[in-house]
C-alpha cells in the first residue's frame, strides 16, 4: 500500500483498538496502525488484519507517513500519562489541521486541557467516549465525540459508519466542545454503575426470598421482554443461568462478592458534588462497590452485628412483580439524575448539549443500551425544555404506577435486613424532589445558631438574609453567606 493512503491511523492494539480497526476496515476504510510494542503490529498484520485494508508502521514517522491529510490519529491507550506521552510523540510529525483523537476513558478535565494544548499547536483534538466493550468496538459501539468542532467533518463519516445503529440512525453524533464528549461518556459510566447496582439489588432480594440463580435467570429473561429490555438485564439472565464447569454450581455462586471499579463512576460523583447535583443512586452504587471491597471486615462484623430473623412468607409471584416495578422506577430516577448532571455541566462548561441526541447515542452499542432510552429520546424530542425526566408525562405515570410496589419492596427489604441502598435512595430522591417543603428550615436554623450563617424567611423576598441571637449572649455579627 503506497504511503499517504490511510483514511485514519490508530495507536494502541489492545482488544478495543484492534476491534475498532477491524470494524473500520470492514466499512471500507484504510487504517494505519502503530503500537508501543512494535512486534504487536506485525502479529496483528499477519493474523487478524491479514487481507484487510490495514497497514502498519514500525515507527511513529512511518505510521504518520501512511496517513491521508488531514491526518487523523486515534489513540486507544490507557487513560492518563500515556495519552500525554503519545501527544508529545506525535506533535513533531503532524502539521496544522491534523487531528489527534483520544478514544480512551479519559477524565473530561484532562480532555479540556489537552484540547486547548493541541489547538495551541495549530492542530485539532477530539476526546471521544467509546462504549460497548470489545463486542461493541468490533460490531458497533456507541461513540460520543467532543473537542475541536472543525475536526468533526473529518471523522464523522468514519465514526458514524462504524457506530451501532438504532432505527437506522448512528449511535454517534457530535456532543460538544473540548471535554463534552468525555463528560457524556463519564455520565454514561455513572449511570451504568447505577443500573448494575439496581439489578444486583433485585437479584439480592429474589435470592433472599429463597430463589436460586437459575430461577432468577428466568425472571430476568421475562423482564427483558418488557420495559426493562436492555443489554444489562439480558446479560444478567445469561450470567445467572451459567453453570461453573469446575463445580457444576451456578457460576455466580462461586464468584467473590468484592467489586472492582476503574474510576469513571467515582468521577461522576465527584463532578456531581462540584456542581451540586444529587446523583444519589450513582453515589450509592460507587459506595456499594467500596463496601463490597472490605470483605474481611464484613465477615468479622457478620459475627458481631445482628439483624432481623424475618423469613419471607408472602406471595412470591407478587413480590417478583413488585421488585420489577421497583427496579424500573429506581432506574427512571437514576437516569433523571444523570441528565440533571449533564445539564448542570453544560451550564458550568458552556456546552450546548443535545439531550435527545445523547439518548440516541445511548440507544445502541453502549453498555446501558435499552428500549428505555428510546423513551428518553422521545421525551426530549420536540420539547423545549425538560426540567426533570420525572416530570415528563410518560415517566410521571410510570413512577405513579410503580409507587405501591416500590414502597412494599423497600419495607420488605428492611424487614428482611437486605441492603438495597439504590432502591432506597431512589425513592428518597423521588419523595424529596416532589416535596414542596423539606426539613432544611431546621438545618438553616442550626447553621445560624452555631455559625451565624443566616437564613431566608418564607414571609420575606428571596435574597434577604436574617440572623437570630439564639442564646441571647451572641453578638449580631453574621458569617458571610455563600453556598459552595
Site residues, ligand 6PG (CB under 6 A): 105, 131-133, 189, 192, 260-262, 264-265, 366-367
Smallest distance from ligand 6PG to CB 376, Å: 17
- Identified catalytic residue from 192, 201, 227, 284: 192
Smallest distance from ligand 6PG to CB 22, Å: 17
Whose Cβ is closer to ligand 6PG: residue 194's or residue 265's?
A: 265
Q: Is 462 exposed, middle or buried (0-12, 13-18, 19+ CB in 10 A)?
A: exposed
Q: How far is C-alpha 205 from the chain's CA centre? A: 24
Q: What CA–CA distances, in Å, run from 162 to 20, 138, 157, 203, 371?
A: 8, 9, 9, 35, 21
Whose Cβ is closer to ligand 6PG: residue 66's or residue 197's?
A: 197
Smallest distance from ligand 6PG to CB 9, Å: 22
Whose Cβ is closer to ligand 6PG: residue 19's or residue 189's?
A: 189
Residue linked to cell 453502549? 366
Whose Cβ is closer to ligand 6PG: residue 49's or residue 76's?
A: 76
- Identified catalytic residue from 81, 165, 185, 309: 185
Smallest distance from ligand 6PG to CB 261, Å: 4
Whose Cβ is closer to ligand 6PG: residue 192's or residue 227's?
A: 192
Smallest distance from ligand 6PG to CB 109, Å: 17
Whose Cβ is closer to ligand 6PG: residue 363's or residue 453's?
A: 363
Smallest distance from ligand 6PG to CB 263, Å: 6
Residue 54: beta bridge partners? 31
35: nearest Cα among 71, 60, 54, 16: 60
Strands 124-131 and 99-102: parallel
Q: Please say if 350 is a catalytic residue.
A: no
432: its cell numbers:
424529596
Q: Please say if 50 is a catalytic residue.
A: no
240: its cell numbers:
445467572
Whose Cβ is closer to ligand 6PG: residue 183's or residue 406's?
A: 183
Q: Which residues are catalytic?
A: 185, 192
Amino acid at each position: 500500500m503506497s504511503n499517504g493512503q490511510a483514511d485514519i491511523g490508530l495507536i494502541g492494539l489492545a482488544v478495543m483498538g484492534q476491534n475498532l480497526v477491524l470494524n473500520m476496515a470492514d466499512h471500507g476504510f484504510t487504517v494505519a496502525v502503530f503500537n508501543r510494542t512494535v512486534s504487536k503490529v506485525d502479529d496483528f498484520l499477519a493474523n487478524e488484519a491479514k487481507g484487510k485494508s490495514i497497514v502498519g508502521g514500525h515507527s511513529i514517522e512511518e505510521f504518520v507517513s501512511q496517513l491521508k491529510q488531514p491526518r487523523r490519529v486515534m489513540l486507544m491507550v490507557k487513560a492518563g500519562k500515556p495519552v500525554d506521552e503519545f501527544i508529545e510523540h506525535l506533535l513533531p510529525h503532524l502539521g496544522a489541521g491534523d487531528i489527534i483523537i483520544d478514544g480512551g476513558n479519559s477524565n473530561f478535565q484532562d480532555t479540556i486541557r489537552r484540547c486547548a494544548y493541541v489547538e495551541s499547536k495549530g492542530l485539532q483534538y477530539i476526546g471521544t467516549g467509546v462504549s460497548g466493550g470489545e463486542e461493541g468496538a468490533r460490531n458497533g459501539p456507541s461513540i460520543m465525540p467532543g473537542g475541536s468542532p472543525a475536526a468533526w467533518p473529518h471523522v464523522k463519516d468514519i465514526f458514524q459508519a462504524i457506530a451501532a445503529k438504532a432505527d437506522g440512525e448512528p449511535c454517534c453524533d457530535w456532543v460538544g466542545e473540548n471535554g463534552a464528549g468525555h463528560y457524556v461518556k463519564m455520565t454514561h459510566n455513572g449511570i451504568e454503575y447505577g443500573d448494575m447496582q439496581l439489578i444486583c439489588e433485585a437479584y439480592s432480594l429474589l435470592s433472599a426470598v429463597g430463589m436460586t440463580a437459575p430461577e432468577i435467570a428466568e425472571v430476568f429473561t421475562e423482564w427483558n421482554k418488557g420495559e426493562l429490555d436492555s443489554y444489562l438485564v439480558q446479560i444478567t439472565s445469561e450470567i445467572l443461568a451459567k453453570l461453573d464447569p469446575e463445580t457444576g454450581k451456578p457460576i455466580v455462586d462461586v464468584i467473590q462478592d468484592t467489586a472492582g471499579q476503574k474510576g469513571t463512576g467515582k468521577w461522576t460523583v465527584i463532578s456531581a458534588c462540584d456542581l451540586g447535583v444529587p446523583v444519589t443512586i450513582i453515589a450509592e452504587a460507587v459506595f456499594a462497590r467500596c463496601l463490597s471491597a472490605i470483605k474481611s471486615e464484613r465477615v468479622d462484623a457478620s459475627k458481631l452485628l445482628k439483624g432481623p430473623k424475618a423469613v419471607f412468607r408472602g406471595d412470591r409471584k407478587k413480590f417478583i412483580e413488585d421488585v420489577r416495578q421497583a427496579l424500573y422506577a429506581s432506574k427512571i430516577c437514576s437516569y433523571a439524575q444523570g441528565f440533571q448532571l449533564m445539564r448542570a455541566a453544560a451550564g458550568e462548561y458552556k456546552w450546548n448539549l443535545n439531550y435527545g441526541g445523547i439518548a440516541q447515542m445511548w440507544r445502541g452499542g453502549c453498555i446501558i443500551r435499552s428500549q428505555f432510552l428510546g423513551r428518553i429520546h422521545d421525551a426530549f424530542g420536540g420539547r423545549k425544555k425538560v426540567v426533570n425526566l420525572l416530570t415528563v408525562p410518560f415517566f410521571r405515570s410510570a413512577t405513579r404506577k410503580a409507587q405501591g410496589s416500590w414502597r412494599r419492596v423497600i419495607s420488605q427489604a428492611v424487614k428482611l435486613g437486605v441492603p438495597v441502598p439504590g432502591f432506597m435512595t431512589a425513592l428518597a430522591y423521588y419523595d424529596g424532589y416532589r416535596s414542596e417543603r423539606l426539613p432544611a428550615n431546621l438545618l438553616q436554623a442550626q447553621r445560624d445558631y452555631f455559625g451565624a450563617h443566616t437564613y431566608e424567611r418564607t414571609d420575606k423576598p428571596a435574597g434577604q438574609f436574617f440572623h437570630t441571637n439564639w442564646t441571647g449572649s451572641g453578638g449580631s455579627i453574621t458569617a458571610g453567606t455563600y453556598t459552595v
